[in-house]
A and B are shown apart, each in its own frame.
Chain A
């Protein structure tokens, strides 16, 4: 059986049950209520679920992940093991904006495994950059006054050279 997911723009994605099972919200909406109420689940392809906060490009990317993980046990919150570390890192990539939107959508759609992966992706991008580089990357304005910077340098002591945003 299949389910149609409708993105923000209205694009429709036909997905099979094991793939849709990865998405917590869809699982709860499509099966949860009907199961608990004792009704049979609709078996035709015409059932549609609108995900109004997820754009088509992000939804298609998320569905790639769901397709890859469709045979795995769903992760529960707090679980941190990854089945395919190499594939995961190649999938999430280093495009910060895209990871951010995937993270936001994974939170919205309740996909703990993807949420974890996206957080790791962001951490991987942040790791090893100096503070100035992070500002440029994320469009952050350094809002410390000169005096605060001097104070922080003093506070950080020996680590000053490491922490200094240059």
Chain B
């Protein structure tokens, strides 16, 4: 059967009488057939259609090629999805109809092939096709199917993910760490969200997986301090560890993770170092000085460190993390007393370890103050993401300014709830205007030049002018969150104007609960903004995003959304405010009403007149703005009491009666609505623009 598969055909002639299959020879001069000319070979030549054999797929192709074909199903599905996105055919409506997309669809199709025949069943469950096991999409998959896949694929599996499916863990652990397999090939293991799984199988799996590089045990109660011992002992390649919110893990486990991986010190010096690059341990219990000291010594290459929510973490711990002496072997930086944030009169040289940290998260650590920032200054020159949210009044100007002036590559700063900081912090993040005469500014970036994302929510003391200066100077700024601050309309206008000038994608400004931001500016900017960051996926259908494309039920007359609200257009700026929230509510109410109307087919008089208007070609059904929604709930009887209640709520909220608020209509008013004549005679002033 495998007659023609060798790349060198002359060794595998099919049957004895056949001449050598491939010969390099001068063709005989008395050739029976004329040599086809160069340009004409495409059309001439003997057209001899081969006989169609039954079950050609299995008879002609060797098993490797059959597997290759089946593996290609995943590739085809992924390419189809990407093509749809590129060409704009992937709409919100389609996303709500098609749950299975990309590789998830491809793997599902492969499982389907197992129902064709026995030989296809063995093909579909061949381990080569399942080297990457990701069951997180298939929440309804049965244990026996997983059992079948895992048992056949176990020697091949490199990536396993059962995100949020703890019931599959016993099967996975048993199948992968089977007694017949001395070592698994696992490179990554994702058990995120598997809260209640047992510790024994997990430890067995870790002990037999020496090639593990990435583990994610987020919120798993199976993880103990001994798990960290095992990881350090058996997995020398480990690079990414996520033990966020593991309830039975404490600081001593992290100490073991670093120190065991480094091995015992020889002659007082550490020879080997842990390779861990990323350590996420939010909510770790007993994260104290000892833990951070050990990490500083044994995990020197750490780039991502998440310590958020550590209740006992104090300033001294972070100081110990970068502590070193003059004789230390690590990379270090020598600082004067002033640079180190101490009394300038001390005349001492201070040393700090130069870390490779790129992302530091100290949010929600109640004991952390700006003293930590001061201690980290000059020690984190590569820092890009700094998260210091939820620290309240403990965060002051001095430490922050000291740190921010030493981190030129900073891209994201989260200062949520830092209520005591002032404009000095913003000025530290505002790069000076580029000087065309100095050449060294190219070589050394200023802090703030790369800033993309800044969170200043609940920072009550910053002024409008400082934020404006920052927006103008930070040319990369894409996301700005200024909830509950004193910023006013001018910040919103300036942000929208500069972002449009810089032609950025996916920019966002959040200004909820800002008293100085009025309704007028939101509607003024409506043409360039969208109220939410819409995304097109099956999971997002409950959010009811609008992408401006016509829906499948367009032929049914009834209230519809206008095309002005495209929430998935990346070129539009996301503007979140109280008023844009109202716009979302209005849109949701309209959609709900339309759905109800279509569902019950009980068109009221107004809808019928609208549909007649549409039938005459006078009105685009997708451009009808339903002003009638306001104040007509009682007249239009809803199907049942619940819906009646909802519609009444819409009325009460949509204003005109309470004198404040009012329904929000974002976008330019369609001309067609004006053409509807007396229907939109609502001049109560509750519709903006």
Contact = CB atoms under 8 A, between A and B. Distances in A.
A152 B148 CA distance: 11
Given A10-B32, A142-B117, A163-B111, A158 B142 contact: yes
B48 interface: yes
A58 to B, nearest CB: 8
Contacts of A11: 33, 36, 45-46
A122 interface: yes
A130 B115 CA distance: 9
A157 B140 contact: yes
Contacts of B681: none
Interface string A152-166: 101111110011110
8 contacts: A7-B46, A13-B45, A14-B36, A24-B7, A29-B24, A56-B48, A60-B42, A119-B72
Interface residues of A, number: 78
Contacts of A141: 55, 117
Most chain-B CB neighbours within 10 Å: which of A9, A53, A141? A53
A159 B3 CA distance: 39
B632 interface: no
Interface stretch (B13-21, B221-229, B261-269, B550-558): B13-21
Given A48-B26, A53-B21, A103-B61, A140 B108 contact: no
A152 B54 CA distance: 26
A6 interface: yes
A52 interface: yes
Interface of A: 2, 4, 6-7, 9-16, 24-25, 28-30, 33, 45-53, 55-57, 59-60, 63-64, 67, 80, 85, 96-97, 100-101, 103-104, 107-108, 110, 115-116, 119-120, 122-124, 126-128, 130-131, 134-135, 138-144, 152, 154-159, 162-165
B353 to A, nearest CB: 42
A63 B45 CA distance: 12
Contacts of B20: 50, 52
A165 B23 CA distance: 48
B322 to A, nearest CB: 44
Interface stretch (B74-82, B185-193, B587-595, B666-674): B74-82
Interface string B142-172: 1011001000000000000000000000000
Given A103-B61, A123-B69, A55 B50 contact: yes
B118 A143 contact: yes
B55 A138 contact: yes
Nearest to A60: B45
B26 A46 contact: yes
B600 interface: no
A93 B114 CA distance: 25
Given A63-B42, A157-B140, A139 B69 contact: no
Contacts of A45: 35
B49 A134 contact: no
Interface string B105-117: 0001101111111
Contacts of A101: 50, 60
B610 to A, nearest CB: 39
A62 B115 CA distance: 33
Interface string B23-54: 11111000111111110011001111110111
A65 to B, nearest CB: 11
A24 B6 CA distance: 12
A108 B21 CA distance: 11
B286 interface: no
Interface in B42-99: 42, 45-50, 52-58, 60-62, 65, 68-73, 75-77, 79, 83
A128 B65 CA distance: 20
B680 interface: no
Nearest to B57: A138
Chain A contact surface mostly: helix
Nearest to A155: B144
Interface residues of B, number: 73
Interface majority SS on B: helix, strand, loop or mixed? loop
B23 A49 contact: yes
B441 interface: no
Given A11-B45, A49-B24, A103 B52 contact: no
A12 B36 CA distance: 6
Contacts of A2: 38
B443 interface: no
Given A46-B27, A140-B120, A163-B112, A14 B38 contact: yes
Given A142-B116, A157-B140, 8 more contacts: A9-B46, A10-B33, A48-B23, A51-B22, A53-B3, A116-B72, A138-B56, A140-B120
A123 B73 contact: yes
A162 B27 contact: no
A60 B638 CA distance: 68
B116 A14 contact: no
B9 interface: yes
- The 7 closest A-B CB pairs, nearest first, are A157-B142, A48-B27, A123-B72, A139-B54, A52-B21, A158-B140, A119-B72
Contacts of A6: 27
Q: Which of B46, B83, B116, B140 is the most central at the interface, judged by chain A CB atoms within 10 Å of its CB?
A: B116
A86 B604 CA distance: 49
A47 B28 CA distance: 10
Contact of A120 (B32, B56, B72, B117): B72
Most central of A9, A48, A52, A157 by chain B CB within 10 Å: A52
B181 interface: no
Contacts of B142: 155-159
A60 B40 CA distance: 10
B21 A104 contact: no
Contact of A159 (B14, B24, B31, B145): B145
Nearest to B41: A13
B31 A12 contact: yes
Given A11-B33, A47-B26, A126-B109, A97 B52 contact: yes
Contacts of B61: 100, 103-104
B52 A49 contact: no
Interface in B130-146: 140-142, 144-145
B581 interface: no
B50 A50 contact: no
Contacts of B4: 53, 104, 107-108
B5 interface: yes
B60 A4 contact: no
B55 A140 contact: yes
B112 A131 contact: yes
B307 to A, nearest CB: 41
Contact of A14 (B7, B24, B41, B112): B41
Contact of B14 (A53, A115, A142): A53
A41 to B, nearest CB: 11
Contact of A127 (B8, B54, B77, B118): B77
